[in-house]
Amino acid sequence: MKFQISNFKFLISNHWKLVVFEIGNSPRSGVKGYTIIELLAVISILVILAGIISGILYSTLRGSSKTRITSEVVQNGDYAISVLTNMISSSNSITKIGGVEIQDCTANPSGTSISLKNLDGDEYNISCNGNNISSGSASLINTNQVQVRANSCQFYCSQKVADPYSIPIIGIELIIEDRGAGLFENKSSSLFKTSVSMRNYSP
């Protein structure tokens, strides 16, 4: 059967050949095409290749996202520990832990906040509030990227029993995790823990 549409003509073979289009007065003497089976085979191969390529791209992007999130957690945790270490080591006395006034650390007090005095007599407070850790009103982490896991932040102080003149050791422990990662496999968290001696301690 032949059909004429404007300047186009095409032929449908009775032997399940594909439609072949010709424009105007084509010099081609015969009509050639592909069988449906051949076409389906090509489509199947393309679908398989597309699936393989999509899987590779997805794995690459997921790995890149996981690396970035882990890096953010580590950077924020290291920065917070570094600031806390410097603040504690340069202080000369502890006034409160967990909001309770103390004279020394012989009773091994602990809590979610600690108050210290520096050599100039200025007092400052470091506390864990909800999903943040801060010194005064300044956050020690980038809260747009990470957060402190609830109930994971703790300060503790130890000192030789019956020796209030020994140097206290302040311990810090907290877990920092990413904030709002979409996929579970992209979640990242890390425990940060250290102990700091008060080198300028003066009871």
- HEC letters along the chain: CEEEECCEEEECCCCCECCEEEECCCCCCCCCCCEHHHHHHHHHHHHHHHHHHHHHHHHHHHHHHHHHHHHHHHHHHHHHHHHHHHHHHCEEEEEEECCEECCCCCCCCEECEEEEEECCCCEEEEEEECCEEEECCEECCCCCCEEECCCCCEEEEECCCCCCCCCCEEEEEEEEEECCCCCHHHCCEEEEEEEEECCCCCC
Provide block-wise average pLDDT over 10 residues at a time, the chain (203 residues).
41 42 45 77 87 77 76 93 92 91 90 91 91 92 93 92 84 91 70 91 79
| pLDDT score recorded for residue 97 | 94
Structural domain spans, the chain: 2-33, 73-197
| pLDDT score recorded for residue 181 | 56
| pLDDT score recorded for residue 36 | 87
| pLDDT score recorded for residue 98 | 92
| pLDDT score recorded for residue 170 | 94
